[in-house]
Chain A
Amino acid sequence: MCSRVVITGLGPVCSIGIGIEPFWQALLDGRSALSPIEAFDASGYRSKLAGEVREVKIRDFVPKSYRKATKVMARDTELAVIAAKLAAQDAGLITRGSEDADEGFAPDLTRIGCQIGAGLIAADTEELSRAVVSAQDDAGKFSMEKWGTESNALGTGESGMNNLPPLWLLKYLPNMLACHVTIIHGLEGPSNTIMGAEASAILSIGESARVIERGSADLCFTGGAESRLNPLGLLRWDYSGRLADTGEATDGSTITKPYDPDSKGGIIGEAGGMLIIENEHHAKARDATIYAEITGFGAAQTPPPVFPGILDQPDPDPIDRGLEAAIESALIDANLSQADIDLIMPMGIGVPNLDAMELGALRSVFADRLDQIPRITLADRVGNTMAGHGGLMAAAGAMCLASQRLPANSSQSQPDTINHVLICSGSLGGQSGALVLSKPQ
């Protein structure tokens, strides 16, 4: 990348920690938190465990004047808002969203962008069911006739759809993550919402860096957030074939094992993973703490087959070619070779055939060196947190560079110096992204 883009704020929110200090400590301690889902009764599901974010209340993370608006936030939005607040705080920013901060840097809001990776948000099942049962026909099936407000079958006002709150739709638009964050903090620069399943946050962070590079913003709130811990969301991910049947197990770390052919499958997680990134000059001028520099970004598409809806699939390629291409582009962008990479952070979601394809891509890039490079995965600690995952990986990678330490349970012992970290992800639809983070100069 030409004009340098640096990471100055970290806001990870996931099952092992809320905020960078507890998150990093949990990684150093080698903790994982994959336990029975509490958000709703998931005992009827095949996969009953998750990396769940507990004991945080959205009210505590928004200005008092904004508390009312939290009623129209889906869980995904809450996680993004909390993570954004923590990242801004960590970066020492003062905005209208930080009423509790007494000192910090107040940036030019027209020069701040916001790019947040998001997932498909499921409507609240309880809220919808309550409304839908009011519109059944005699056979107990959903009746559009009764759902409409002009229905004669029910008095106007009692009708099915009027049981949904007026702002119902606005809770489920994926861009609401970025919209609430921009409104809370007053960010008026370019805003985007990128959806690429597990690759969403990496793609968002990369695009965000490009927004700064091209001069359209000085600083961006970026990353991703997602929660599928609701009836429809969990079902859809179960249907993707990426979740383990967890049976009677209560600790997911015994189930999901990255790159292990005997792994029983993936475990879902929920997370917000937000960063503050900025133009290096801007960061230095305000004397910000720089964790890492974003030196490379690559995006690519895996040729199908990767999902069941496309019918004429050839035999699966044992190498995820899109991921391979994304990594190669990111290395070229960073003006580095594979030999320069000191640490790899891939997904390792614990689904053996997918892990094998991912490993195939890494081996294709790193050849024999792959087994000597430390590799860190988070999915076995916090679950596959989908659109939030890349933000968590970037926070962990940035901490490795800033502290020159590795989390516990890394695949290799620590190198003498950690200069360059590769973060990469494929996804359900084959959209792939890779970032290179480097030790700040």
Chain B
Amino acid sequence: MTPKKQRVVITGMGWVTPLGTDIDNVWNKLLSAQGAIGPVTRFDASTCATNFAAEVKNFTLTDHLGDRAHVHSAAGLGTQFALAATKTAWTMAGLDTTPPNLKRTGIYLGAGEGVLDYPPYMAANIAGWDSQARKLDSVAWIAKAYEGMNPIAEIEQEPQLTLTHIAAELGTMGPTLNCMTACAASTQAIGEAFEIIRRGDADIMVAGGCHSMIHPLGMTGFMRLTAMSTRRDDPQTASRPFDLSRDGFVMGEGAGIIILESLESAKARKANILAEVAGFGSTADAYRITDIHPDGKGGAGAISAALAQAGIDPNATDDTGRPLVHYISAHGTGTQENDKTESNGIRSVFGKLATQVPFSSIKSMMGHLIQAAGAVELMTCIQAIQTGILPPTANLNNLDPACGLDHIPNKPRDENHRGGVDVCLSNSFGFGGQNDTLCLRKYKD
């Protein structure tokens, strides 16, 4: 069979973020450089080197799903975030009123693992330790575990079950896949879902990601890696991508879900088209599990591949001398290493135009949503295309010359005077050298 190369568009989106769940409300906060970082309230983090995070506050699934929320009462936090974001996206796409062919509708997420069921799990870990022999007694461990650990709470931690909940809610039966490529996961999920529609294996894909690692061992893992900011005296400004004083990322949580659809399907439903997905690039650094390749070549490779698929020359300009890429949403975590190498990657792709391509990080405001980050950041690109305004990098007061690009410090940028925003890139990079980039374009018939 000759595969149909479908154009793929975005017809709906929804998010649950530390700044809120309403699309416009969160967007306005981002444009006014508002942060969402504060003390950890989920557990007692008072003695932790990093005792702050960007938490999703005042969230209840009932606010989003009404009576249907009870169906998912066993679902973990990340799954609940994803269900709420899916509801917004599905409704925005008009799929509640014009139901699609459910066999041709799939799900591709970068859904993270669930939160551990701490009290019984820790009780088993303590009971299982044989202090005489100084080793694990697995018979004592399982005895305590069977006593206190709950089957549903354990099963719900399997990350792919988020997709099962969404499928239960929507009734979808198409291709359903979950990828866990660390911090790149939801960008990758959207890219792979785009390819599934492009090649004709589905008409509609619910795509994105969700995650919460604001729990004791989630935070512990990153503290041991010394990857997180320890600015305990000033948490509100602790996330400082591209700033000389940056000292690590700040943990966030949430979900971002978009509806991807073949142009044919969107037109047939007369759906409102928010943007077109023009390209996807994915590479591996093949370097180290802990470090990014210092010249940023993996990231550069992903960007180049996404641009090549979109047919965009990074070294070309339009008649006014403006680069063809109008905005890049950075991975921009605020670690010393990431921001420098990511900037190097941009320089190697865009050459002398690099400083003319606006390149900001919203992680400065809502922290790092881990597996949900890429999807939420892509949604800010959709907003940029829709409004012609670019979100800033907050807390950027002393630009690190090793980054040294146009990071849109502290104030949003209105690009409407020069024709708005047509083409955006969104980067996500994960531990182990996973690099993914999506290219979005303003939809034109």
Contacts and interface: CB of A to CB of B under 8 A. Distances in A.
Interface in B139-177: 139-143, 145-146, 149, 151-152, 154-161, 163-165, 167-168, 171-177
Interface string B217-254: 10011111110000000000000000000000000000
Given A182-B286, A301-B163, A309 B75 contact: yes
B160 A300 contact: no
B141 A308 contact: no
Contacts of A120: 113, 157-159
Interface stretch (A130-138, A254-262, A414-422): A130-138
Contact of A301 (B47, B145, B173): B173
B220 A161 contact: yes
A67 to B, nearest CB: 14
A379 B174 CA distance: 26
B158 A175 contact: no
Interface string B114-156: 0000110111011011010011111111110110010110111
Interface stretch (A99-107, A194-202, A275-283, A398-406): A194-202
A301 B176 contact: yes
A132 B129 CA distance: 9
Contacts of B46: 144-145, 148, 150
B129 to A, nearest CB: 4
Interface stretch (A4-12, A20-28, A50-58, A232-240): A232-240
A41 B136 CA distance: 10
A118 B180 contact: yes
A141 B159 contact: no
A170 B146 CA distance: 28
Interface stretch (A79-87, A265-273, A321-329, A364-372): A321-329
Interface string A130-170: 10110010001110111111111000000101101111111
A144 B138 contact: no
A303 interface: yes
B155 to A, nearest CB: 6
A183 B432 CA distance: 8
Contacts of A308: 74, 151-152, 155
A300 B175 contact: yes
A164 B156 contact: no
Contacts of A170: 225, 289-290, 431-432
A195 B159 contact: yes
Nearest to B121: A232
A428 B152 CA distance: 13
B180 A239 contact: no
Nearest to A177: B432
B156 A309 contact: yes
Given A140-B126, A145-B44, A431-B176, A303 B286 contact: no
Nearest to B40: A144
A309 B165 contact: yes
Nearest to A427: B160
B430 interface: yes
Interface in A165-197: 165-170, 172-176, 178-180, 182-183, 185-197
A147 B174 contact: no
A239 B431 contact: no
A301 B224 contact: no
Contacts of A429: 158, 160-161, 163-164
Which of A168, A213, A300 neighbours the largest number of chain B CB atoms within 10 Å of its CB? Answer: A300
A59 B7 CA distance: 48
Given A109-B286, A147-B216, A193-B181, A310 B138 contact: no
A80 to B, nearest CB: 13
A176 B136 contact: no
A311 B180 contact: no
A148 B168 contact: no
B106 A301 contact: yes
A411 interface: no
Contacts of A302: 173
A153 B433 CA distance: 38
Given A150-B47, A300-B174, A114 B305 contact: no
Interface string A293-313: 000000111111011111110
Contact of B1 (A129, A183, A303, A333): A333
B48 interface: yes
B77 to A, nearest CB: 13
A133 B129 contact: yes
A175 B181 contact: yes
Contact of A132 (B45, B125, B151, B288): B125
A149 B51 CA distance: 11
B73 A129 contact: no
Nearest to A39: B138
Contact of B181 (A142, A191, A335): A191
Contacts of A144: 43-48, 216
B416 to A, nearest CB: 36
A242 B281 CA distance: 38
Interface in B274-308: 282-290, 298, 301, 305
Contacts of A431: 160, 163-164, 176-178
A286 B122 CA distance: 54
Contacts of B43: 144
Which of A41, A161, A175, A178 neighbours the largest number of chain B CB atoms within 10 Å of its CB? Answer: A175
B142 A300 contact: no
Contacts of B149: 235, 239
B192 interface: yes
A285 interface: no
B375 interface: no
B155 A2 contact: no
B47 A145 contact: yes
Contacts of A239: 149, 151, 154-155
B289 A183 contact: yes
Contacts of A301: 106-107, 163-164, 167, 172-176
A432 B175 CA distance: 8
B160 A195 contact: yes
Given A194-B179, A195-B180, A69 B289 contact: yes
Contact of B167 (A159, A192, A430): A430
Contacts of B168: 303-304, 310
Which of B71, B139, B158, B159 neighbours the largest number of chain A CB atoms within 10 Å of its CB? Answer: B158
Nearest to A121: B113
Interface string B39-66: 0000111111101000000000000000
B71 A142 contact: no
A289 interface: no
A125 B282 contact: no
B339 interface: no
B2 interface: yes
Contact of A175 (B195, B224, B430): B430
A129 B128 contact: yes
A310 B71 contact: yes
Contacts of A325: 103, 173
Nearest to B175: A299
Contact of B284 (A43, A191, A195): A191
Interface in B77-127: 103, 106-107, 113, 118-119, 121-123, 125-126
Contacts of B131: 133
A141 B123 contact: yes
10 contacts: A129-B125, A148-B51, A161-B224, A169-B220, A182-B284, A182-B285, A182-B286, A183-B289, A429-B160, A431-B163
The 5 closest A-B pairs by CB, nearest first: A148-B47, A179-B432, A169-B221, A142-B122, A299-B175
Interface of B: 1-3, 43-49, 51, 70-75, 103, 106-107, 113, 118-119, 121-123, 125-126, 128-129, 131, 134-143, 145-146, 149, 151-152, 154-161, 163-165, 167-168, 171-182, 188, 192, 195, 199, 201, 216-217, 220-226, 282-290, 298, 301, 305, 430-434
